[in-house]
Structure 1
Amino acid sequence: MPNLYRHIPSVDAVLAALDTVDDIAAQPRPLVRGLVNDFLDSCRADIRSGRVTEAEQLSLPALTPALTAFVRAASRPHFRRVLNATGVVIHTNLGRSILAPQAMDAVADACANYSNLEFDLATGERGSRYSHVEDVLCRLTGAEAALVVNNNAAAVLIVLETLGKGGEVIVSRGQLVEIGGSFRIPDVMAKSGAHLVEVGATNRTHPRDYEDAITEDTAALLRVHCSNFRIVGFTKEVSSAQLAELARAHGLPSIEDLGSGNLHPFASGELDEPTVQDTVASGIDVVTFSGDKVLGGPQAGIIVGKKDYIDRIKRNPLNRAMRIDKMTLAALEATLRLYIDPDAAPKSVPTLRMITAGQDDLHRRATELAAAIDSALPHLAQTELAAGQSRVGGGSFPERDLPTTLVRILPTASISADALRRALLDTTPPLVGRIEDDALCLDPRTLGDDEFSMVAGALTEALTRLTASGNAQ
């Protein structure tokens, strides 16, 4: 055993060998050196355990394949691209909406160069970063003024803190929602300093419930989108127009949290959700919504409404703590500009394009995806097409399925669907699908045509590894 230790290559010899591997040579030298030391420590452990018994096993040529794989895997970024084959368009865990090319170009330009972020080119004086998106937001929504903060939770918080702090805010009991990450309306309201007043029953709330609850301490009336659930059956809610009229009659501001704001009027009966512009037109004073859900832009909390109220919110000191950066601003403006042409938006905004994809097109693309997979791994797996359902996701359009065509992966070896799913999480790039009826299913709705070859490559990598290791379960 002591003699075997002398055959372990030196760190410098290993580093010199790795210098010929382009992707590893591009990594920071201290990072690679540390990983090489870790790998050589594992070699010493293998000698002590008896897993290595011959000097030839420790030669540099013999170690290079495992060494390269180890360093390559350990040095890749923790935050990286994945292939979304789940069929969930706005996948909260996978980064929600992806940006349009125009938005990505705008972000790159904002990052690579100086900009007029807070500089008024007309006067040569200090300007406001919000001016870059306020006009287009007002044009698209019909609102008098607009403000953008870093997400919709922040938007709700700053609106309530500005208009409701120290007073009572009335909300329907059926709208006291909790969404992902334990975000609860009552908790946000408590943090804002406003006092929650619940009215109505869980399933039915009437205008008179609000009317009866209004006192001299009432600061605002609030309406909240139910996001990721629906109450069905014997139900009733007060509409936006009714709430706005009631608030005006009592000289109070009306607020509506739309959650996933929608600027696109989907075809009647297709996806029944209110648009931001419809909500503004109903008379609601302040409307909040997300930028990175159905709108298809970057993470942002958008606030639109009456100028008097928006100006008060802008002056709130919390606004500075919640403001958006130049990258978000660039991406948001570019995305919003795509909506100026309502006919072009479904083709230009990736989120809308995926949501509105037709069944014939999805079947054609599923056929092409299956062909790419069959061509890449004919001896490792077979594919078959099956009818399935996609989801919008992100708390939007809950319980509304989108018909699609799935590609089912059937490994030829005794490899379970779950083992394949786990193995695909360690490929480059990782591939995330879903399991249905003991088969791995891939939905083309959330994949780009240019990603089909990458999907085939990830499956080849995962199945080859599983077959070689015998780790089939």
Structure 2
Amino acid sequence: MTRTKSKLPFDWKILPSVQSVADLIATELTEFKPEILIRLIRFEIEWLRADIVRKQISLKDRQSAIEEVLCRLRSKSEKLLSLPLKKVINATGIVLHTGLGRAPFGNEILLETAEILSGFSNLEFDLNADKRGERLDLADDYLKLLTGAESSAVVNNNAAAVFLALNSLANRKEVIVSRGELIEIGGSFRLPEIMKKSGVKMVEVGTTNRTYMSDYESAIGTRTGAIILAHPSNYKIQGFTTRPEPGKVVKLAHEHGIPVIFDIGSGALFDIRKVGLPAELVVPEFIEAGVDLVTFSGDKLLGGPQCGIIVGKKKSILLLRKNPLMRIVRCDKTTFVLLCATLKRYLLSEPEKRIQTYRLLARDSHILLGEAEKIVHNLPKILVNDLGISVLETVVEAGSGSLPTETIPSAAIVFSPKKISVVRLAGLFRKNRPPVIGYTKSEEFYLDLKAVSSADLPAILDAIRTIGMSL
């Protein structure tokens, strides 16, 4: 078998039949049901056929074709039986890494929720009244206590939260928004498009860098259904700028009987500067300012599962809860169990020590530097020399659009390998079990320890040893 472009017409007769392959591998792949195995073989032969058409592979005879199909089947079966989602060690330095699942859960939360998730639960059953319950009430007491809001709702992500808020409060009406807040978040979340799909008419006011109270006031009319404020969570406009305080916008809107929606993006439940992190918008402050609906993500600075949280005035929340679209965007039991377990920890003292996201974000860079040096100290000197290993102080970002212009001190193990490229080295770490995900920069490979839990440090050491000894 040679993976080169073929110049001669391909003889399709050399491709094996589905049944002939099944006869060869049935005793090897015994885990699969017979009909599933047949379907899997058919799929792999079709993929091979497509690769031949695209000239990505050349096969010389039937035996090489059979070997190729068998090789693909073994690889595919191993992938299917090991589950596509795997535990990885996040050595990118980005705690809220979207590609790696954003906010991590600590073992305490997983242990607390395992029993509930392993069987049935009272997701929509009132144990006291012996009747049908409401899943949205599960997190309601927590969110009201933690934010000061009158009521709450939880949907499957913050984009859905913004969409539902707009549709519930201002469907077929005008919604005023500053041009400086027409945000786009990663994953193609564009506020103008969300507004259009929600059924509202967007009315832009101000300019990219300067919006005044008079801009909002002059745009208010008989068809105005709401004003939306959006925190530019993944960028910051600096210099010659003006942006009214949310409280002033709320006062103006309420004078005209208009509700205000504020998408604050990441959203923190307390002033995170107390734990040495850069400032971020704090949800309770905007509830106190009178904002009708505040939306934010559950899997960013909250440190919980993916969901969109909406808190605010009872009258406005009731409109959301009664909206037929709520059923489309509602969350399942897994989300509610993990969310409630996360929120519970915010009721207690020092929540930053109980939420894994903050435990990682707030770790002192000097401690991380010491951990990195300890790992390197425990490696053979010849390996350290061959891989060009050193320890370096670094700066990282929180991730997922949180604290976009702020950096956080950290430390990393840096590789400048002599025998292989940094690209290949990164690939070897990704193939490790568990995979270790780092990053390359200036022809060097970094394993940053900011997002690595103490429990995973031995795995980092083992991975370096294993990879180094294999070269």
The residue that corresponds to 2:11 in the other structure is none
The CA deviation at 1:281 is 1.1
> What does 1:153-232 align with in structure 2 at a 5 Å threshold?
153-232=159-238
Provide the identity percentage: 36
Amino acid in structure 2 at the alignment position of 1:262: A
The CA deviation at 1:110 is 2.9
Structure 1 residue 99 corresponds to structure 2 residue 105? yes
Describe the superposition over 1:137-183 as per-residue Cα deviations: whole angstroms up to 9, x where unpaired: 00000000001010000000000000011111111110000111111
User: CA separation in 2, counterparts of 1:68 and 1:373?
Assistant: 35
The CA deviation at 1:358 is 1.3
Aligned residue among 447, 450, 455 for 1:445: 450
Describe the superposition over 1:190-228 as per-residue Cα deviations: whole angstroms up to 9, x where unpaired: 011111011111101111110011011111111001011
The CA deviation at 1:346 is 1.1
> What does 1:54-65 align with in structure 2 at a 5 Å threshold?
none
Contact 2:383 2:469 in 1 (8 A): no
User: CA separation in 1, counterparts of 2:74 and 2:225?
Assistant: 64
User: CA separation in 2, counterparts of 1:380 and 1:224?
Assistant: 50
The residue that corresponds to 1:301 in the other structure is 308
Contact 2:113 2:341 in 1 (8 A): no
Amino acid in structure 1 at the alignment position of 2:289: S
Moved more, 349-358 or 311-320: 349-358
User: CA separation in 2, counterparts of 1:378 and 1:68?
Assistant: 36
Aligned residue among 354, 361, 378 for 2:360: 354
The residue that corresponds to 2:140 in the other structure is 134
Provide structure 2 residue ranges, at least 5 long, that are not aligned to the other structure: 1-20, 49-57
The CA deviation at 1:277 is 0.8
Q: Structure 1 residues 111 and 377 mapped into 2: Cα distance closer, same or farther (>3 Å)?
A: farther
The residue that corresponds to 1:111 in the other structure is 117
User: CA separation in 2, counterparts of 1:406 and 1:293?
Assistant: 23
Amino acid in structure 2 at the alignment position of 1:304: V
Moved more, 290-299 or 367-376: 367-376
The residue that corresponds to 1:286 in the other structure is 293
Q: Structure 1 residues 429 and 29 mapped into 2: Cα distance closer, same or farther (>3 Å)?
A: farther
> What does 1:423-462 align with in structure 2 at a 5 Å threshold?
423-462=428-467
The CA deviation at 1:48 is 5.0
Describe the superposition over 1:251-309 as per-residue Cα deviations: whole angstroms up to 9, x where unpaired: 11011001112113122684121211111111111100000001000000000001011
The CA deviation at 1:386 is 0.8
Amino acid in structure 2 at the alignment position of 1:314: R
Contact 2:174 2:225 in 1 (8 A): yes
Instruction: Give aligned pairs, total.
Output: 436
TM-score (norm 1): 0.83
User: CA separation in 2, counterparts of 1:337 and 1:140?
Assistant: 10
Provide structure 1 residue ranges, at least 5 long, that are not aligned to the other structure: 1-9, 19-23, 52-57, 59-65, 468-473
The CA deviation at 1:116 is 0.9
The CA deviation at 1:234 is 0.9
Structure 1 residue 152 corresponds to structure 2 residue 147? no
Structure 1 residue 313 corresponds to structure 2 residue 320? yes
Amino acid in structure 2 at the alignment position of 1:198: E
Contact 1:264 1:342 in 2 (8 A): no
> What does 1:387-466 align with in structure 2 at a 5 Å threshold?
387-413=393-419, 415-463=420-468
The CA deviation at 1:368 is 2.9
User: CA separation in 2, counterparts of 1:32 and 1:454?
Assistant: 35
Aligned residue among 319, 330, 333 for 1:323: 330
User: CA separation in 2, counterparts of 1:70 and 1:194?
Assistant: 47
Describe the superposition over 1:51-73 as per-residue Cα deviations: whole angstroms up to 9, x where unpaired: 9xxxxxx9xxxxxxx99989656
User: CA separation in 2, counterparts of 1:120 and 1:70?
Assistant: 45
Q: Structure 1 residues 360 and 463 mapped into 2: Cα distance closer, same or farther (>3 Å)?
A: closer
TM-score (norm 2): 0.83
Give the root-mean-square deviation of aligned CA atoms: 3.4
Q: Structure 1 residues 463 and 171 mapped into 2: Cα distance closer, same or farther (>3 Å)?
A: same
Describe the superposition over 1:50-102 as per-residue Cα deviations: whole angstroms up to 9, x where unpaired: 99xxxxxx9xxxxxxx9998965675322222211000110011111111334
Structure 1 residue 260 corresponds to structure 2 residue 266? yes
Amino acid in structure 2 at the alignment position of 1:428: R
Describe the superposition over 1:406-449 as per-residue Cα deviations: whole angstroms up to 9, x where unpaired: 11123342x11122113322332222101123111111111122
Q: Structure 1 residues 71 and 460 mapped into 2: Cα distance closer, same or farther (>3 Å)?
A: farther
